[in-house]
Structure formats: structure tokens, C-alpha cells
A and B are shown apart, each in its own frame.
Chain A
């Protein structure tokens, strides 16, 4: 066993930290306040190669693997969850679906500009009636000669408001359902019939776009079918597995930020004649965050290693997301409490962190869905098939 990061990953972390502190941290409060997606920062991330961090160099990527991608998510989320979410939706599920199941032609055409940040991607799965129950989608795709005609819509699509490319899951054979009846499509957002219907007003991650998309007689050429017809559900589930891992990595960043600020404040703030750091009620809280953070860090980077070495990881990825989001929420809650009134004020970053962290247990599969995934994997090994 070897638990050290390779020199290139150490150098990559330093590069990302330098970028995050100079380019992302200074705008974090502002994009939250103004509900603005930081487009310029996103493009800069692409220019230095970071948006292709995990894709092969032949497709415009950096080739730093899932390990590199987890480092990116940790470091960006350490300073700004909104930017981290934009990056995650773009790389981790949007472009990832094309990387995992796209053919060479599709990768050249779409993945290269996505990896360079010349275009942005979104992942079109959730519908108003199909959240946790992804198989319940109703967007239809009907074959018409060399094309497919898409009708329907998606909700809560991260990056939906500004993406150039959306991977969309649609029903191609209602009789077959999730097993063979769902197909993934690569959709360009300037095609006729594609519409952004509205932007959501969210409690946190306000520097992101969460949009409702509408498709009306949207014509998609057959060559834009992603993977095989009828196997869309598998494509999307594979992307989601990757996404779950990197959300765990994102939570390391959030929890780190919380711990650092809690420690800083506890050694500064004096009450009853001594630093807060001298109070056991505070010490215990800090010890708990630090312990959970280390456990999470070990879990996430172990799973990244599994991915990079081609081993199965789906079950553990669900655990990364489940545990990570809960650790990050607890950490930020504790940090806020240690700050007292200042934690409650929007003039300090903890307030934003608190609102931002809450989405972790909800998006890309709620904690409940992760528990279903984990439990059904365990029971399957014992010959029991459980339904959600």
C-alpha cells in the first residue's frame, strides 16, 4: 500500500490552489450575491487545462485521471461551492457521459471543446416527476428517418442556462422502460426546439445556473445518439457513479474550509477571559470535524485510485457522496455555531457555506437514494433483490 500522492498530483494541487485563491476566492461572495455564473473564471479554468483534468490528452484533456479530478473538486470547493458545482456539472456528468460512451467522432467534435472550456456541458436527466426515480422520465424521442424528434422537458438542470451541449435522456421505447427503452442524446442548445424555460431561485449555490429546459420537436441527428439506442440508462448511471465520487471530493473542500475557519476563530475570539479554543465544548466539536474529514479524505482518494486502476467502485462512490455531504453539512454547521452571530451574517463566508452545503444531501441523488443504492448492493450479494 502506498498512500502518497504522485509528484504530478502534488504539483497539480498547488496549481489549482494558486488558481483558486487568485481567481475564484475573490469572486465567491459576489457571484452568490448577484446570482451570476462566473463565466470568465470558467473560461480561464478551461484555458489552463483544468476543465479537461481527467480526460486523455488526445481529447484535449490533461490526463490527470480521476485522482486529478478529485483534487480539482476539493480545491475549488474549498473556496467556492458555486464554482465547484459549475465545474462538477460540466466535467463530472456533462462531459463525462460523452467521454465514457461517446464514439471517437463524438469525442473529437464535443469533448475537445468541452475539455478546453470553449464550450460548456450539462447533464439532462431530472424531470419534474422523475427525480430520485430516474427511470420515470417522460421526455420522448421518436425516430424520423436519420433523426430523432425530442419532446418533453427537464428540471433542475445544473449549467442548463448557459450550456452549449446537453446530454439528454429520453424514452425511445415506452414498453421497455429503463431496460432498453431509454436512450441518451447529445443535444446542442442552439438547435431549434431547445428552450431554457426558467432559472430557479435557490437557497444556496446561487452562483450556478439551475434551469428548466423545454424540448419542442427538437430534431437530433442519429449520429448524436450517445452510446447505443436503448442503453441510455446505463450511460447515465455510469456518469452518475463518477459524479458521486467527485461530489465526495467536493465535500472534502467544504469541510476543510469550515474546519480552517472554525480553528482560526476559536483561537482569536475571547469570551469569559479566554480563547474559545480553551473550552472543551469547542475542542470536541473541532476534534469531531477533523476526524470525519480525515475519514472522508481517505475514502474519496481510495475510490479515485480504484477508478484510475480500473477496479469496480460504484458502491463506494455512493458512500462518498452520502458520507461526504453529511460530513460537510455537519462541519459547516459546527463552524457556524462557533462563530455565533458572525456565522449568521452574510458578511462572512460561513453563512454562504451553510446554504451551499445543504444541497450536497439533495442533488445528484439524495442521501436516501444513496442509501438505497448501498443497501441494494449489499443485499444483492446475499441473493436478495430489493426495490426502492
Chain B
């Protein structure tokens, strides 16, 4: 075992920090209040190669290992969870699905565009009646010669409003299929944007597919392989979201600890109060536990084995840590933690999302239990 980061990884981290401080942090507050996506920062991120972070160089990607990529997400999330989630959706859910399951033609066509940020990817799986229960997807893919017609409604489509390419999941003849659907395809309409509690500068939209025809060549993977593609994508995303939870938690502790050294009550800085020390210490313990869980899971992604179990563990834990840490750090800052003029309120709202997006914690809890009982030859149902 070796827990040290390589020199290269340390260098990346410094670069990510530098980028985030320059390009993400200054506008994060304003973009959140105005509920606008950080398009400018995304363009800059593309120039740095971050939008193709894990893609090979032949597709103009940065060819980062998943651990370095997790660091990137972590670093961005420290300043803006919205931007981290936007980027993770683009890379982990969309670009890497094409990389792992696409034909050479599909990769040639889309990956350079995605890496360059000329096209942003969106992931369209969830439906009004199919949230955790992916098997309930009702969007249909009807073959018609060498074309396929997609019909259905998708909700909570991450990046919906800014995307040029949608990865759409639909029921075909042999089970669930995945399709690459360009934004300008007739019959595809990006609809209502959810007004959200947090992640206000990320966009979540309803997507309408009405007689939306694409070539069969747009199918990603084999017929019926959609379920597996979605699961793998979500496992990758789970690790990225946990990394985002790590980033926002670390930063929240930093901000609140700094405040505690400055805020004087009862004649001393509140950092001198044991209750405050306890909050900070407990939060830090959780963050350190999460940190190595995240990097371990990220490392597993690169080992290309089955890491679904570890992805569920890290996602569920990441969501818990982010929620409890930001909650306590709001408390450290008292009234100032509740004011939108200070970043803590935003971190608190954003962190709450991690229990819900990428599968609610209850679903991950179930998947973890399912694996444990499967090892004991017991099949459990959700």
C-alpha cells in the first residue's frame, strides 16, 4: 500500500487550485444567486483540458487518471458544487460512456467536441415515474428501418439547458437502449428548468422526446445494453459526487474555522469554546475518513474491475458527510451562516443535493445491503 500522491498528481492539484481560485471562486456567489450556469468558466476549463479530463490524448483529452480527476472535482466543489456537478455530468456520465461503449466512429465524432467544450453532454435517464427504479423507464425506442423513434419524457436532466448532446435511455425491443441524441434533433425539446434548493448554477431540465428520430448508428453499445451503460455511468458519477462532497466539506470547515478565530463572544474568540472545537473536530474526522474513501474508490475506477459496491459506499458516505459538516459549519457561523451574503448558506443548500442526485442515499444503502446479503446467498428486493 502506498498512500502518497505522485509528483504529477501533486502538480495537478496545484493547477486545479489555481484554476478554481481564478476562474470559479470569484463568480460562484453571483452565478448562484442569478441561477446562471458558469459558461465562461466552462470555456476556460475546456482550454485547460478539464472537459476531457479523463479522455485519451487522441481525442484531445487530458488523460488524467480517475484519482486526479476526483481531485479536480473536489477542488472545483470547494468553490462551486454547481460547476463541479456540471463538469462531472459532462465527463463521468456522458464522455466516459462514449469512450467505454462507443464505436470508433462515435468516439471520433463526439469525444473531440466534448473535450473541447464545443458540445456539453447531458444525461437523460430519470423519468417522472422512474427515479430510483430505473427499470420503470417508460421512454420507448421504436425501430423504423435504419432509424429509431424515441418517445417519452425525461426529468431532472442534468446540464439539460446547456447541452449539445444528450445520452438518452429508452426501452427497446431487447431491453433498455442508450442513444446519443444531438440537441438539434427534431422532436427533442428541452423544457422546464427545475428551480432548485441548491446547485442553482447547475441546470436540471425536463426533456421531451416526441417522435424524435435518430439513426440506429446513434445507439451506444448493443441493443439491451443500456441498463449496464447507465449503471456504470452512475457508478463513476457516484465517485465524482463523493469527491464534490469532500471538496465542499473541506472548504466549509476552512471558512468556519477562520470565522471562529475572528468572532469574539463572551470575551474570547469562539474558537476557544469547546463546543465549537468539537464541531470542527468532528467535521474534520468525517472529512478525513471520506477523503481516503474517495481516493480509494477513484483508484478502483482505474483498475477497471467491478467497483459498484464501493461506489455506493462512497456516495452514501459522501452525502452524509457533506450534509452533516455543512450543517455544523452553518451553526459555527450562527446568524452569519444563515445570510446569503456569506458563502456558507450556499454550501449548505448545495450539499443537501448530494443525498438526492445520483441516486438517493436510501438506494445506495439498499445496494450495499444487497451485496452483503448476496455474499450470504440471500436475494433481497428494494
Q: Which residues of A contact B (CB under 8 A)?
A: 126, 129-133, 136, 155-156, 200-204, 270-273, 279, 281-282, 336-337, 340-341, 343-347, 351, 354-355, 358-359, 361-363, 366-368, 371, 387-388
Provide the bound-state CA to CA distance between A367 and B267, in Å. Answer: 19
- 22 A-B pairs with CB atoms under 8 Å apart are A126-B335, A129-B264, A132-B265, A133-B265, A133-B267, A200-B339, A204-B338, A271-B136, A271-B382, A272-B136, A337-B360, A341-B156, A343-B356, A344-B352, A344-B353, A345-B197, A355-B349, A362-B331, A362-B334, A362-B338, A366-B331, A387-B266
> Residue B129 at the A interface, CB < 8 A?
yes
- Knowing that A133-B266, A337-B355, A343-B356 touch, tell me 8 more A-B residue pairs with CB under 8 angstroms: A126-B335, A201-B341, A202-B345, A281-B365, A340-B356, A344-B196, A344-B357, A388-B273
CB contact under 8 A between A367 and B265, given known A271-B132, A344-B196, A358-B348? no
CB distance from A191 to the nearest CB of B (A): 26
B341 partner residues in chain A, CB cutoff 8 A = 200-201
- Classify the secondary structure of A's interface with B: mixed
Contact B331 A361 (CB under 8 A): yes
B267 partner residues in chain A, CB cutoff 8 A = 133, 136
Partner of B382, one of A155, A279, A336: A279
> Residue B194 at the A interface, CB < 8 A?
yes
A155 partner residues in chain B, CB cutoff 8 A = 335
Provide the bound-state CA to CA distance between A28 and B337, in Å. Answer: 23
B345 partner residues in chain A, CB cutoff 8 A = 202-203
> Residue B195 at the A interface, CB < 8 A?
yes
> Residue B102 at the A interface, CB < 8 A?
no
Partner of A359, one of B136, B338, B352, B362: B338
CB distance from A60 to the nearest CB of B (A): 32
Contact A132 B334 (CB under 8 A): yes
Contact B349 A345 (CB under 8 A): no
CB distance from A162 to the nearest CB of B (A): 19
CB distance from A37 to the nearest CB of B (A): 17
Contact A345 B194 (CB under 8 A): yes
Contact A337 B356 (CB under 8 A): yes
B264 to chain A: closest residue by CB:
A129
Contact B198 A344 (CB under 8 A): yes
How many of B's residues come within 8 Å of A, CB to CB? 45
CB distance from A137 to the nearest CB of B (A): 12
Contact B275 A340 (CB under 8 A): no
B362 partner residues in chain A, CB cutoff 8 A = 279, 281-282, 337
A271 partner residues in chain B, CB cutoff 8 A = 131-133, 136, 382
**Docked complex: B309-326 residues within 8 A CB-CB of A:** none
Contact B275 A368 (CB under 8 A): yes
Q: Number of contacts between A and B (CB, 8 Å)?
A: 119
Partner of A281, one of B275, B340, B366: B366
Partner of B339, one of A203, A340, A345: A203
Contact A371 B275 (CB under 8 A): yes
A282 partner residues in chain B, CB cutoff 8 A = 362
Provide the bound-state CA to CA distance between A97 and B155, in Å. Answer: 51
Partner of A341, one of B126, B275, B334: B126
**Docked complex: B121-137 residues within 8 A CB-CB of A:** 126, 129, 131-133, 136
CB distance from A157 to the nearest CB of B (A): 11
CB distance from B116 to the nearest CB of A (A): 31
Contact B337 A131 (CB under 8 A): no
B129 partner residues in chain A, CB cutoff 8 A = 270
Provide the bound-state CA to CA distance between A354 and B366, in Å. Answer: 25
A358 partner residues in chain B, CB cutoff 8 A = 330, 338, 348
CB distance from A135 to the nearest CB of B (A): 8
Contact A346 B196 (CB under 8 A): yes
Provide the bound-state CA to CA distance between A151 and B126, in Å. Answer: 59
Provide the bound-state CA to CA distance between A8 and B338, in Å. Answer: 38
Contact A201 B340 (CB under 8 A): yes
CB distance from A198 to the nearest CB of B (A): 10
> Residue B376 at the A interface, CB < 8 A?
no
> Residue B378 at the A interface, CB < 8 A?
no
> Residue B381 at the A interface, CB < 8 A?
yes
> Residue B86 at the A interface, CB < 8 A?
no
> Residue B183 at the A interface, CB < 8 A?
no
CB distance from A384 to the nearest CB of B (A): 16
Provide the bound-state CA to CA distance between A155 and B336, in Å. Answer: 11
Partner of A131, one of B330, B334, B357: B334
A388 partner residues in chain B, CB cutoff 8 A = 265-266, 273
> Residue B54 at the A interface, CB < 8 A?
no
> Residue B361 at the A interface, CB < 8 A?
yes
A344 partner residues in chain B, CB cutoff 8 A = 194, 196-198, 352-353, 356-357
CB distance from B277 to the nearest CB of A (A): 12
B352-381 contact mask (Cβ, 8 Å, vs A): 1 or 0: 110111001110011000000000000001
A281 partner residues in chain B, CB cutoff 8 A = 362, 365-366
